[in-house]
Structure formats: C-alpha cells, structure tokens
Structure 1
Amino acid sequence: MRNFIEKLFVVIFCLYNTYIIDPSKDLVFFFLISIIISFALDLFNSKRIKILIYLVFLLLCFYDSFFIYYLPLILYTMYLEFNFHSLLVLPLLFVNFSIINLLISTISIYFSHMTKGFNLFLNENKMIRDGLKEDAIYLRKYNEQLKIDREKNIYIAILTERNRIAREIHDSIGHSISSGILQVEALKVVSNDNTIKGLDLLQNTLSSGMDDIRNSIHNLYNDSLDLRKRIESLCDEAISLNISLNYKLDEPLSYDLKFDILSIIRESITNTIKHSDANKLNINLLTQPKFYSIIIKDNGKNFNETKDLLSKGIGLISMDEIARKYNGFLNYEFKDGFKIHITLMKG
C-alpha cells in the first residue's frame, strides 16, 4: 500500500511536468507505456527479467527523449533493487533536462529510500516476532516435558522404594521367620508330646506369617513392574523404527507373565532392528476370554526364510518356550513382512 501511494504521487508529478513542458504531445501514449513498464517491474521477481525491462526503458529514452520525464517513476523501483547504483542513470536527465524532472527524481529516490528502510524495519520486526513465538512454543513444550519427566521420576521412585521394601522383607524378616520354622522343627524332634502340641501351634503361626510375607512380596514385585510403560519405553528407544503399539491387556497380570511378555517384546524389537530392513513395526497386545494374544508384524523385506527361521539367534526358540510355559503356542509367517502370533493361555 505504501509503494502504491508513493508511486501515485510520483506519477502525478510526472504528468504535471510533461503537461507543462509540452501540452501538445501525446501524453497518454508515454504515460501508458511508463505505467506498463512500472507494473511489469513489480510483477516479475526474477532479477534478469527486471534488468531486461530496465534496458527496454532506456532504449525507449534514446528512441524518444520524452520518456526521460517518466524516469522518476522507474527510478523508484530501480533504487529498491540496486540501491545507490541506480543513480548511474541520472545523467540521462541532462539529455532532456528539466529542473522539475530533477526535483521529481530526487523525491522519487527519497521515497524509495524511506520505503526500503521501512521494509527492513518491518522484516526485522517480523523475524523478532517469529522468534518470540518459536521461543514461546519451545518453552511451553519444554515445561510440558518437564512435568511429564517429573511424574515419571516420582513414579520410578515409588517403584524403586517398593522393590527396596520387598528385598528387605525377603532378606531380613523372611530369612528370620524361615530360620524360626526350622528351629521349631528341630525342637519337635527332641521334645515330648505335650511340648510338641505347643510347637505345632507356633509352627503354624510362623508358617502363616511366612505365607503372608511371600504374598506381600509377590504383590510388591508385581506392582513394581508397569508393563505398559516399560513397553512404551522400549518403543521410544528404538529410534530407527516407527512403532505402533495397541495395548489392550486386562490387569492385573502376574509378575512372571508381565516379565515374559516384556521379554517377547524386547526380543522382537531387537530382532527387527538386527535382522530386517523394516522401518515400521506393529505391536498388538490383546486380552481374549481364555487367553492373551500377542501379534507383532513388521514391513521388512530383507528376509531369508531358510536361514533366518532356522537360526537360534532370531529368538523364536525362547518365545516358543514362553508360549509353552503358559500352555500356549507360537505361529509365524513371512507375507509382506515378518509376523509373529503368540497365544498365552490364562491360568
């Protein structure tokens, strides 16, 4: 808008100047040609095309010196492109010299210089504004990540404390009670019948307490393993794969089952990275009425059925052992990628 207003002033001055100098001249022709050239300079962004248009205008000036009176209009755009180098065309003014034309040219260059400075200032403001927006977005994401990390750290600290308590109960209290039970057994060997009844009662009490401790330790270990978060962590660590996780396992699961499922997922991700050229991996963990279903499929193509399926290194043997442990089975196939289907029967 600023350019349009300034050019409009320059055009008015040029028209006024040409009318004063020679009212009988066909002013419309020179005006239209100059306007077309000015619009063409604004329309094209290529510097080569603009230079060609400038040369055309200079040739027109030599063809008819009356075009020189519209030089201020062309100087406005020329100064935006070439800065002070555009002043090299000012000697053309003396071919058909007019003080008013020189004054108009000076005003045109001044307008162009001010507009150039204004555009630079505007661009700097836009860059600063965009930078501030990027910083704000980055800070917002950083704060969100800090919040997530803090929650994870709190959760990890809770799980770590549960493990510590479970180990201490197992190592200290558990061993002490186990030792007490063995001592009662030894006393029963050398005691009479009346004493044995009291020792039986003590042994039953100790055995019941030991069972309670074992159950508590088992529950602590079970709660300390968050299967979903551990699997998500494994997926995040595999940066070379785009992993899609569909987790639909009903809780609670036993610690052993969680550990075995985690082992299967870890083995599958490792094998995909090592033995396949896949870049996508789909993991589906589903709960069925009678069993748990694990379906893992990649989009790899670098696969040798004879070599890879018979290789112990691919980990299929260990996965099959886990499946048999839960009276389940393992199936696999290679069709548009390698697919593993493991079924683990519920207890």
Structure 2
Amino acid sequence: MRYFQDTGILMIYGMFSILYVDVDYQFVFGFLCGVILVCCGYFIEKWQVRTAAGVFFTAAALALLDFPYFIPVVLYIFLRDHQYIPAVMSVLLEMYYFIHAGEFVLLFLCLGAFGGLLAVLLEKRTEQFEYMEDWFKRSQDDSRERNFLLSEKNKALLEKQDYALYAATLRERNRIAREIHDNVGHVLSRSILLVGAMKTINKEAAMQPLIENLDNSLNSAMDSIRNSVHDLHDEAMNLQEAVQNLVSEFKFCPVELCYDMGQDLPKEIKYCFISITKEALSNVMKHSNASRVVLMMREHPALYQLCIEDNGTVSGRVSSQSTTSGIGLVNMQERVRTLNGTFQTMNDRGFKIFVTIPKEW
C-alpha cells in the first residue's frame, strides 16, 4: 500500500509539469506509460524485469517521446530494487535533458532535482517503515512462540506435578496396606490363635458361647482387614512404574516403551496388561531371536489398547509353542475375553500381539 502511495505522489508531482508544457499526445502517453511502469514495479516479482522496464521507460522518455517529467517514478523503482547504477544514470540523463531544454532551464533543473530528492526520501521512508514492520512481525512471532513454549512447559510441569502427586498417593496407600498387614493383621492372628487355645482348654459350658462369639468377631475383623489390604494394594498399583520395571529387568533385547494411559485405571485393566506383558516378554526371550521389542499402551476415549511387537522369526515359536494354541497365548486370550476385549496375533515380519478392551466391559 505504501508503494502506491509513494508512486502516486511522484506521479502527481510529475503532473504539475502541465503548468509549463503543452499537454499533447506524448505527455498523455508518457503518463499512461508511467502508470503501467508503477503497476509492473508492484506486480512483477523478478527485479531484472522491473529494471529492464525502468531502463526502457527512461530511454523512451528522453530519446523518443520527450516526456522526462515522470523520471522520479523510475528512480523510486530503481532505489527500491537497490539498482543504484541505473538510478544514477536516470538522474543524469534527466539533468542532461533539462539543461538542453531551452527556456526554463533553471526551473526544470530545480523541479527535476526536487523530484529526484522526493523519490529518494519517499523510498528511504518506506524502506525504514517496511523494516520496522518486518521487525514488529518477527517480534510478534517470537513472542507467540515463546508464549507457546511457556504454555507447553507449564502444561508439562502440571502433568509432572499431577503424576508426582498420584505416585505419592499410591505409595502412601501401599505403606498403609503394609502397616495394617504387619501390625493389625499380626495382632488379630495372634488373638485368633489365643481364642482357639481358649476354646480347647475351656471346661465351663457358660463360657463357650462367649468364646465362640469372640472367635467369630475376630475372624470377621480379620477377613475385613484382609479385604481392605487387598483393595488398597490393588488400587495402589502404578501401572506405568510396573511396566517400566518389567522393561528395565528385560535384558534379552532393547525394548521401546510407548506409554499413554491415564491415572485412574481399573485394577482389572492393570492386572490384565501386566500379565500379558510378562507373558509376551517371556515368550520373546524363550521362543524368538528378536533384536527389538516395541511395547505400546495407550488409552483412547472408548477403549484401552495394548500392542507388543518384536522383529523375531516365527519358526522358533512354532516349534516350541503353537502361535494359536500355546498355553501362554490361551491364558492371554482368556484374560482379555473376561473383559469383553479382543485379542489378535500377527506374524507378518515378526510377531505382534494386539489387544483392545472397551471401557465399558
């Protein structure tokens, strides 16, 4: 837009020459050529073409059609493309023409010099404006990029804090479960044994119902504590840590782990995925010559997904354990079937186990 503003000012400045010269077809043709040159300078991308058009216009204006009053427009285009030699040549040719123009020599020289100076000032002002505009856009882009990176870092920190809180909660549940099992559980077990001894040595019939009630109460409390400890232990299991431990303990070949699961997972999913992973890694170690294993656990909006893939050959598996009826694979299928999931195996370019379990089983 500033380009058309500047060239428009220069074209209007050139039109002031009608106060001193006759308006004939050459002047009108020169004006139209100037408009065409302005459009070419904006829409043509190659600077070589723009420079050639400017040189042609200058030569035509001075040698053929006698309309040098729009030379400042050509000078502006040359300066915009940093073509300083053609710019200087156009100014010198314009001055040469005005010197040999006859009357009004001094006036034309002053007008030509002012027009050239105006073209230089407008081009420098526009160049500086475009530089500042480009710098401002780069600053905005850098600011957006920094804000994006900062938001990503904050998101990662929040996720890390949430996971740390989740892991700490699970560890606390495990600690409580161990405390109940080691302390309260042992006390109740000892009390049950003592009551059993009392039932054996008791000789009074009146005390027998009381001892029986005490024994039932203690056994009921023991069952309740046992169930609570089991529930705490099941809820406190961290699937990600458990899988990472399995991967770190597997030394047969490198394992690439891709884990993308939520935190609040049902215990049935946890035990199912851990059992399948253990069995699959054991099969890789016993029945394949794989050099790489890819383990992926991912949670989708409607299902849980487990994929275990290795690049080993299938011949060893077939000879040692049938890929369709092996005990290990049958156990995996049974575990998945109880959760209404699907279990698939593929042996194309390696061996792959693919498990999907719906969230509502």
Per the normalisation by structure 1, the TM-score is 0.69
Name the counterpart of 1:114.
Answer: 125
Correspondence 1:87-166 to 2 at 5 A: 87-89=87-89, 90-97=91-98, 98-99=108-109, 100-166=111-177
Paired residue secondary structure (1:332): strand
Q: Distance in 1 between matches of 2:142 and 2:186?
A: 63
Alignment CA distance shift 1:322-1:138 (3 Å): same
Retained in 2: the 8 A contact 1:295–1:342? yes
Paired residue secondary structure (1:96): helix
Q: Distance in 1 between matches of 2:242 and 2:163?
A: 12
Tell me the CA shift for residue 149 of structure 1: 4.0
Tell me the CA shift for residue 331 of structure 1: 5.2
Residues 327-336 or 100-109, more deviating: 327-336
Retained in 1: the 8 A contact 2:239–2:270? yes
Asked if residue 211 in structure 1 is aligned to residue 223 in structure 2, the reply is: yes
Alignment CA distance shift 1:284-1:82 (3 Å): closer
Q: Distance in 1 between matches of 2:301 and 2:23?
A: 90
Retained in 2: the 8 A contact 1:297–1:338? yes
Tell me the CA shift for residue 110 of structure 1: 0.8
Name the counterpart of 1:332.
Answer: 345
Correspondence 1:52-91 to 2 at 5 A: 52-60=52-60, 63-64=63-64, 66-82=66-82, 87-89=87-89, 90-91=91-92
Alignment CA distance shift 1:281-1:142 (3 Å): closer
Report sequence identity in percent: 22
Tell me the CA shift for residue 72 of structure 1: 0.4
Asked if residue 7 in structure 1 is aligned to residue 7 in structure 2, the reply is: yes
Retained in 2: the 8 A contact 1:2–1:115? yes
Tell me the CA shift for residue 146 of structure 1: 4.2
Residues 178-187 or 93-102, more deviating: 178-187
Q: Which runs of 5+ in 1 are unaligned?
A: 288-293
Let me know the Cα RMSD of the aligned residues: 4.9
Size of the alignment, in residue pairs? Answer: 320
Alignment CA distance shift 1:6-1:54 (3 Å): closer
Tell me the CA shift for residue 164 of structure 1: 1.0
Q: Distance in 2 between matches of 1:56 and 1:269?
A: 79
Tell me the CA shift for residue 106 of structure 1: 1.0
Q: Distance in 1 between matches of 2:73 and 2:22?
A: 19
Residues 151-160 or 119-128, more deviating: 151-160
Tell me the CA shift for residue 330 of structure 1: 5.9
Asked if residue 274 in structure 1 is aligned to residue 292 in structure 2, the reply is: yes
Per the normalisation by structure 2, the TM-score is 0.66
Retained in 2: the 8 A contact 1:184–1:203? yes
Tell me the CA shift for residue 114 of structure 1: 1.0
Residues 215-224 or 17-26, more deviating: 17-26
